[in-house]
A and B are shown apart, each in its own frame.
Chain A
Amino acid sequence: MTQNRSWIPYLLILPTVVFLGLLFIVPLVQTVWLAVSDNGVPSLANMQTMVSDINFGRSILNTFLLTLAVVPIQIAMALAMGTMVSKVNGGRETILWIWTIPLGISDLAAGMVWLSILQNTGYLNTLLFSMGLIERQTAWLTYQTPVALFIGIAIAEIWRGTAIVMIIIVAGLNQVPKEFKEAAEIFGASPWTRFTRITLPLIRPALQSALILRTVLAFEVFAVVYALGGRNFPVLVGEAYNWQNQNQNYGVAAAYAVLIMVISLAATLFYLKVVKVDPERLP
């Protein structure tokens, strides 16, 4: 009976496979070909143009710096927020709901929100001026103030992207059995020991997913940076966009896209190796 129907699972997953195949794998192959060809002939010209461009080194540096600055802070904040909210009884949903508001806003809108705060005529300057800390409009987002610009972009990114990490971690924390913590408490383990020896190891799968998701997204950062930094803070996706849209050179844009994909894949593999998860705990 069941053997006769062995084709049914395949039939059921066929639409999704066809869908992904058509809308993901075909464009992927096309993009890779676009990146490594020139007028239909295999060529590394696009890669060379990309590497010798003046913004290439800066965009790699900026993207990595931003990822290194933003992801650890977001993970730490999400852990702290998740642990705190698990101690709350009343109003837990309301707190979670407020914390996840930034998730409901598009990237570019988040960038615009922070632009309205940080630009010359923005809320930050108004506040500082009313407190008598500055005498006139101060520019924070220019090429002459790279540190302030970086901090501004990092804060905006942290504000925008922490919620997604927190949701995954809260889900992981919910699965930690209370008995373990109670037992540790009876044996006199301090809160820190309980956190590092019980909670952290048990939420590894959630942590791994959160790290992969957040790091890949950090390498794809674009809209917030575009709104706040513009030309002053080149990042990889921004360069891909510029080559596609302004320079109308699809080959070099594709080369950037392939580079971003390779970096994201490498980061994913890195986390899969480094944050090891007990196979029995995998879904």
Chain B
Amino acid sequence: MKTLLSLAILASTAVGIALPASAQTVFLSTQLRPIEEATAVRQELLSGLAKPADYVVEEPPQFAVRMEAERQAGKHTISLVGALHGELSPLADKQMLEPLDDLAKKLASAGMPQSLLDLGKLGKTEQQYIPWMQATYVMAANKDALQYLPEGADINRLDYDQLIAWGKKMQEATGAPQIGFPAGPKGLMARYFQGYFYPSFTGGVVRTFKSADAAAGWQKLKELWTVVAPTSTNYDFMQEPLASGEVMVAWDHIARLKNAISASPDQYVVFPAPAGPKGRGYMPVVAGLAIPKGAPDKANANAIIEHLATQEVQLKTASLVGFFPTLNVQLPPDLDPGVALLAGAVTATQSAPDAVISLLPVGLGDKGGEFNKVYMDAFQRIILQNQPIETVLKTQGETMAKLMADTKAPCWAPDAKSDGGCPVE
């Protein structure tokens, strides 16, 4: 008996020692973190792999810290990372990612648009990440709000004046402002300025930061803000105030509207953000897959990327978690009705004749947060604290110019190309 026991102990220790060698490939992601989504990834999207993957999630700030810690320690446990374009950019900046050009070539021939693949170069010559899934921002409205839509307004072609008129009517009828924005501490309001407000009013993002067009835009936003719920500065995910009825109309990331809309798809309409004098700005969001340098299991990481980029898995991703394929494929007709609504609005946005595409910032390295802060500080000062527009744009413009000079980030669309750091004109 004793020998048996010691044998058992010995065997278990042996297994314990042997395990790390055959351990699963660690896949660290800042996306699809909620437990239902992570479970969908583990059980559905990553099933059928030759060698299993261990899907681990981390919030973006902790993700950055962990990657930096592994780099400094020189001890790598992570073989594959999945993160947003902006979160991968600092890693590429520090030469922390393996070039993936062979994979990129393969996927280009499998139908991944070259424009998307180019985003994955992050301004470098070599492919830094493979586009994994994409999303964008749209507006959603409770159907009860449609009765207040100003006459002659087409919900898929709203402009700012119509949105303001709509907001006024709703406020008069209900007694409270009914438009909401995610301007809370964890909300994505900065993306509204970079991808929607600035492109729509000025046709640029950085170059036009303090232009006369921008000043006129801020004036318009002030007008809009009189019909926006003041609790907007507490909202992080617009699905919550939409579902609870605190607001009837909201702008947000599709993944942050999905729960409300999927829960009762008959109750909502989803449509593109409004257009300004320079067109209908919109920003595609891209999540990418990358392999860190020194990854313990590069071969399997490569295999997982290929698996996630197959047509079948991409379509499954769309119906399970509401992020859209990076491959050029048709969405299936049996899609979740909420996701189908969102997909319709995305198509309407992309195919709008006046669409102005605003790409994600490239080349900012770890200054992405401070870049966002320039817009949010301007918002806080102009809209919330009622400071004069010209003065604020002048001082915030100086901060922006310094940031661009420090990072030497060249302009990206819709700004015209630049040699060296993107100038603030």
Which residues of A approach B to under 8 Å, CB–CB? 54, 119-121, 135-137, 139, 141-145, 226, 230-232, 242, 244-249
Contacts and interface: CB of A to CB of B under 8 A. Distances in A.
Contacts of A230: 184-185, 233-234
Contact of B64 (A54, A231, A248): A248
A89 to B, nearest CB: 47
Interface stretch (B3-11, B199-207, B353-361, B372-380): B372-380
B312 interface: no
B175 A232 contact: no
A120 B232 CA distance: 11
A230 B231 CA distance: 11
Given A142-B231, A142-B234, A230-B234, A248 B183 contact: no
B213 interface: no
Contact of B233 (A54, A142, A248): A142
B49 interface: no
A231 to B, nearest CB: 5
Given A121-B246, A139-B231, 9 more contacts: A120-B231, A136-B174, A139-B229, A141-B234, A143-B384, A232-B234, A246-B61, A246-B373, A249-B369
Contacts of A248: 61, 64, 90, 366-370
DSSP class of A's interface residues: helix, strand, loop or mixed?
loop
B43 interface: no
B69 to A, nearest CB: 13
Most buried by B among A120, A144, A145: A120
A121 B247 CA distance: 11
B116 interface: no
Interface string B335-370: 000000000000000000000000000000011111
B381 interface: yes
Nearest to B396: A54
Nearest to B183: A231
B372 A246 contact: yes
B369 A246 contact: yes
A135 B90 CA distance: 50
A54 B230 contact: no
B272 to A, nearest CB: 27
20 contacts: A121-B244, A121-B245, A135-B175, A136-B174, A136-B175, A136-B176, A137-B176, A139-B231, A141-B234, A142-B234, A143-B233, A145-B230, A230-B184, A230-B233, A231-B184, A242-B185, A246-B373, A247-B373, A248-B368, A249-B369
Contact of A54 (B176, B366, B370, B377): B377
A152 to B, nearest CB: 12
B369 A247 contact: yes
Contacts of B64: 248
Nearest to B62: A245
Given A137-B246, A248-B61, A249-B369, A231 B380 contact: yes
Minimum-distance CB pairs A-B, first 7 = A247-B369, A142-B230, A245-B61, A248-B369, A230-B185, A144-B230, A231-B233
A227 to B, nearest CB: 10
A249 B176 contact: no
Contacts of B183: 231
Interface in B33-61: 61
A54 B380 contact: yes
Contacts of A232: 233-234
A116 to B, nearest CB: 12
Interface string B300-328: 00000000000000000000000000000
Nearest to B176: A136
Contacts of B185: 226, 230-231, 242, 246
Contact of B231 (A136, A141, A226, A244): A141
B230 A139 contact: yes
Contacts of A249: 369-370
A120 B368 contact: no
A181 B67 CA distance: 64
A231 B234 CA distance: 7
A246 B374 CA distance: 12
A198 B285 CA distance: 68
A218 B246 CA distance: 33
A242 B183 CA distance: 14
A160 B230 CA distance: 27
Nearest to A226: B185
Interface in B169-202: 174-176, 183-185
A262 B353 CA distance: 58
Nearest to A142: B230
Contacts of A139: 229-231
Contacts of B384: 143
Contacts of A143: 230, 233, 384
Nearest to B247: A120
A120 B369 contact: no
